[in-house]
Each structure stands twice: as C-alpha cells, then as structure tokens.
Amino acid sequence: MVFDNPAVTVPDEPSLTEVEASVEQLVFVREDEYTVARMSADDLPAFVASGRALAGVQPGETLRLTGEWDRHPRHGSRLLATRCERVVPSTVRAITLYLGSGLIRGIGPRLAHAIVSHFGEETLTVIDTEPERLTEVVNIGATRQAQIVEAWAEQKAIAALMVVLQGYGISPLLATKIYQVFGNDSAEVLVGDPYQLIGRVRGIAFHTADRIALRSGVPEQSPQRIRAAVLDRLEAAAARDGHCFLPLPALVSAASALVGREDELIGQAVDTLIAERRVIVEASPAVPGQVVVYSKEQHSRELSLAAHLARLSRARSTLPLRTFTEDEGLHEDQRAAVNLTLTNTVSVLTGGPGCGKSHTVKVIASTVRAMGGTVTLTAPTGKAAKRLSELTGLPAMTVHRMLAQQQQERDETTLFQQSPAEADLIVVDEASMLDLHLATRLAASIPSGGHLLLVGDGDQLPSIGPGNVLTDLLRVEEVPRIRLTHVFRQAQDSGIVRSAHRIRAGELPDLPGRGGFWFEAIDDPEDVAARVVHLATEAIPRKQNIGRDQVQVLCPMRKGPTGSVELGRRLQERLNPAREGTAEHWSGPSVFRVGDRVMPIRNNYDKGVFNGEIATVTEVRSQERVLEMRTDDGETVEYAFGELDELTHAYAISVHRSQGSEYPFVVAPIVAEAGGVMLHRRLLYTLVTRAKAWVVLVGQREALQLAVQRLGYRRHTGLAFRLAMALES
C-alpha cells in the first residue's frame, strides 16, 4: 500500500513540525510498539506517520503529532513522529470519523453520520454534557442512548488512563486491560498500590508495576515492594517454567536480583508472607535438608490432588470383578493393560507412537460397556478429544466440558441423568497435558469406586501450566502402570515413528530421512525462515496436492526470525493478506482478519473455549467491537476487542501449544539461536510425533544434534512425594 503524496512538501533540511490529523488506518504494528498509520487532515493530503510514539493509537482518534518529514521508498511522504498527543476531534470530518470508527461501542459509520449531521461540531459536547438529546436523532431510542453513554464514559476513562500510563513511561496499550479489571478505580490503583496489577492484569509483571510505583514515590526498600518481588518470582516460576515451588535460596536470589536489595530484606519479606499464609515453606520433597517455598495455591493443589488420587486408589471398584482373557488380536502387553485397568481404580497406560495405546483404550472401553459399566472418554483439549473419538470410534469430550456438565447438573439438581464424571471408567488421553490445576479438579470430581485411567506418553513435553502430573505418577511405584513397547508392523514403516523412537533413545534420526521424516540443512536463520514459509505455503501443498490448511508450522521458540511470532506474521501475509474493503482490527502487534486461523492461549470457561483449540475468524464487527470465530468443533464464539490478548494466530505455533493435536504435514525450523535454550529432547520428540504423514525439519544439523542430546530441565514438583506418602498412610 503506497501513500505517495507529492502535495506534501518535504523540506531539504529536517525540522520539527506539528500536525493535527486523524488515524484512518493502522498499516503495521511491531512487537516493540513501532507503529505505522495512515493519517488524514482537513488541510493536508493523506500521509503516513510512523514511530513508537504512536503506540496504542486506534483508527478514528485525532492526534497532535510532532516530528520530522521524510520520504519513504514505499510509503512516500512520511512523518517520523517523536511525540503524540490525543486531542478531542473538533471538525465535522474528524468527529464523524471518530464516532464511526467503532471506538464508541454501538455507533457505526451510518449512525455516526446521522448524529453529526444533527449536532455538527457540537456533537461531542452534546454526548458529554447533554446525552439525553441523543434521542433527537432517528433510530436512537432510550436503550441505545444508554448504551452510547456507557461506551462514551468507558472510552473517556481509558483515554485518561493512557495519558497517565504514558506519564509513567508505560505502554498505553495496557490501559484497556487495566480498566477491564479495576473499572473506575483504575487511576486510584495506579497511584495507591500498583503492585495489585501483578497477576491480575494480563501483560503486567513486576517490572511494569514497579516502574509505576517507584515513579510514584514508593521507596526502593519498601516492604510492600520486596514482598511483591517475592510473589512475582514464584508466579513467574510457575507460569514460565512450570515449577510448583522454588528452593528458598533460589527464590531469595531471584527476588534480590529483581529489586537490587540485600538477601536479608528478602528473607524478612518471606517471613511476613509466611505469617500472612500467602506462601508455604517446608522441607524439600526431593532434596534432604533443603527448604522450599510454595505459593498458597500450588501447595493446596498438590495436597488435594494427592489426597484424591489416594482416595480413588483405596476405594472398592463399582465394576463387577472380572479379568479380561479374550484375545481380541492384542499384543500381550496390551492384554495386560486391559486387565490392569479393570482391576485397579487408578492406573496409567503409557508408550511411544505406533505401540497401540488408542486401540488398547478402545478395547478397554468396549469391555467395560460389555460388562454393563459406563465409560467417559476425555482429553485436555478439543482437538485431542476429537482425535480420541476418531481412533476409538466412541464419543469423547474435553475434561473441561465434563467438569462443566457435572457442575451444571449439580446446579439443576438433575435426578436421573448420570454425570459423565460418575462413569464406572474415566479415560484421560494425552495425560501429559494435565497441569496441576486441571488434574486436581478432575480427581476431585470422580466419586470413589470409579476407575481412572490416564493415557499418555511420558516422554513428551509436560503441561503448559505448572506441574508434571503424568511423570510424577510414573515416579510412584505404588501406582499401577503398563508401558507399551511393541511397535506394530504398520508403524514400523513410518519414518516419523522410527525417528521418534530414535530421538527418545537419545540417537540422531537417519538423515536426511525418508518415509515421512525429512531434514533439510540450512545454516542462516533468515534463510531457514524463508524456506519454512515456502514449504508451508507453496512447495508441500503443490507437491502433495493438498490445501494449505493441511500444513502446520511448529516452532521451538517464540522470538527471532524463526520464532512463532515472526513466522506467523509472514505466513499470515502470504495466506491471508490485507484486502481493500475487508474489516480488520489491530490488537497490539497483531492484526485480526476474517479467515485468520487463531488459537486461545488460556482457558475461558464462560466462553467454553480452551487453550490450544483452533478456530477461524468469521467476522470482525467494528461497530460492536467484537470478533467472531468458529472453532473446529463448530462452536461460534465471540471475543470483545479488549479480550483479543487471549488469542494468538495459529499460522505458526509453539510446540508446547501443539500438544494433543496431530497435523497431516508439519514443517519446523531447528535453529540454535540464543544458545538454543529451548531445544531439548522432549521438545523435539513432541514436535516429530505431531505429524501424521510428513514432518520436515529445516535448519542447522548441530542444532538438531543439540536437541537430541539435551534432556531439558526438571520441574520442581512435590506430587510424587505427597502421593507416595498418602498411599502409605
């Protein structure tokens, strides 16, 4: 898109100029908030403004920009903005654009034109001081008038917050998120106790809240500040690394580095948090003599999960006592797995690809049903549940949906319909994805006497959330388990299966590969990125005669030229570029368009969507400030524009977020950027096993070797110790 306007004079020598103009369209937003916007003004031709000063601006806003003119080879005349101030639109054109942009929920272009035609340049004054007069406009009744007034007040409050945040040197993009949590108390929270923002407002961690606090006059040695740092390090360890606790010396060191204070002050803060019961300190479950620190929530969940698993293990089975002896064409370890499940109320079935886990589950479920028992098949994500249903030929649901149905039936006091959690057998597939929170809710929902079978591959990545539930259960000798090791003949011919088993054993796959696995050696990360995009959008679809949606790009890392962010942007521009007349909406550095493939990055129980599900954007309704999407399960879900940080594009996703899913074709970059800290054996093994037909790895051979050799870190969890103790007592 070129905006070359010869009518705009570019001076020979750069000089600061001031321009008042309206934002017509966002052209580009980078992760560092560098923004390019198309602008218009009454006394100037359309031009482009760019710079980080424009961070957070939205179409329809009127800005007073200070900067220098230059000429861009693509965009033509451009104002390099060094300062940006939001101002109240004052002309009929600017007011009409502002109201019709969708910034004020409930007003679209047509209604904006009608309102401004009636009130002229006094429009915003009327809305602000005499809102009852809006009913003078055709098609505005009392209900719509009230909606407009509410949206106007909200927009004013958010705009004021943006100014406050800019004064603190904080991104104005956070204003909407803060307002959604704290409403009209937002400004008071910012001034009074900005540390409240941590953990409650997505995108605000300690550094952001601390900058506000220090600029507000909070002393560096303030106990409030030190306690916030300790809690932040615990939360970060859980959110980023999946830890349920931290050793006390590690926590003190991390908090000390965060605030630049002595360890003694950190220790005093920990003592205060212990006294307030906000953290729990106890002896390490793994290292004698070591002291560890839990957040109150993680400690409670570990205790609860261990207690419920012990309760289920001790309970008398609701199934008739029976041993499975029929052949059913099973391998001997599969027959053992069936018998194990029928005779134990808690058991684990594990094994690598091609070993028949899904067929074994099908036989187990069929046997229980033949005995007159009931079965519920579940998985942590919708995609995994759908795949389980396809492989077994039996209905399956997500764990979340099972729990939601149980709660709904309790609320409705249903007398005759059995809850899915009350089945004689509950099977959880892809159990490596169960985090501590979901596993605790699951175990608590199952009545004593029911059988719980966890099915998964313990060599895959652990859950996105904190905990390592499946691996911890496999560490407890008292938990009955079967590991399937026999690879069936049809799977032996798969290059994916062969390569996966070699990776699991710490061996490099046969290179460059064959029969479903291929490695293409390229050293330069930029060349790797270009090749991945070409393979995913052109080469593989053309050679395999398939649609582009059959190819999924998976990334070990998020940042860098081969990370999911940059590759996702390039793939979106190739597969779903901006089109004239097509609605789109920028949320931070992400632009959402109709046809985009997107994925929720956190569970939203109210909407019924869960982390890892894939959906397609079907509508972008600017007037209502709503994005509509349809999930692969056929459900229609709406997200307000202020909630879009809960979505990410699914053109290129992390390996972690691909768990529980399979794709016909997978393409992935393998590059040892930043020391390759994200490359390790479990990640590579999980990546390779996501593909059904082909997986193509593109990158550095030494990076592939590094991934095979590196085991990765072990999460700090205490579930294995607690469960072993609970089963002994």
**Binding region for ATP:** 354-358
Distance (Å, whole) CA 703 – CA 537: 24
Whether 305 contacts 455, CB under 8 Å: no
Give the number of C-alpha atoms closer than 13 A to the C-alpha of residue 182, restricted to the C-beta side: 25
Tell me the C-alpha distance between 457 and 349, whole Å. Answer: 8
* 3-class DSSP state of 704: helix
Q: Which H or E run includes 405? A: helix 399-411
Question: What span, in angstroms and rounded, lies between the C-alpha atoms of 454 and 432?
Answer: 9
Residues found in the chain? 729
Closest CA to 87 of 60, 119, 53, 118: 60
Nearest to 684 by CA among 521, 525, 506, 523: 506
Q: How far is CA 421 from the centre of its chain?
A: 27
Residue whose C-alpha is closest to residue 402's, from 381, 383, 373? 381
Distance, in Å, from the CA atom of 413 to the CA atom of 407, rounded to the nearest integer, reads 10
310 Cβ contact partners less than 8 Å away, ≥ 6 residues apart? 723, 726, 727, 729
Residue with tokens 């103790």: 725
Looking at residue 35, its amino acid is T
Token pair in block for residue 171: 């991104």
CB of 450 closer than 8 Å to CB of 319? no
Q: How far apart are CA 523 and CA 552, in angstroms?
A: 22
Cα angle, residue 544 at apex, residues 538 and 546 outer, rounded to 5° = 75
Structure tokens at 614: 């894939």
Question: What is the rounded distance in angstroms from the CA atom of residue 323 to the CA atom of residue 321?
Answer: 7
- Reduce the DSSP state of residue 595 to 3 states and report it: coil
For the beta sheet containing 551-555, the strands, ordered from the edge strand earlier in sequence to the opposite edge, are: 517-521, 691-699, 663-670, 551-555, 652-654
The beta strand positions in 429-465, using DSSP E, are 451-456
Beta strands 551-555 and 663-670, pairing class? parallel
* End-to-end Cα separation, the chain, in angstroms: 71
> Which pair of structure tokens corresponds to residue 532?
């991945």
Alpha-carbon distance values, 586 to 26, 177, 332, 582 (Å): 7, 15, 56, 13
**Residues forming the annotated binding site?**
354-358
3-class secondary structure, 173: coil
| Structure-block tokens of residue 356 | 């028949």
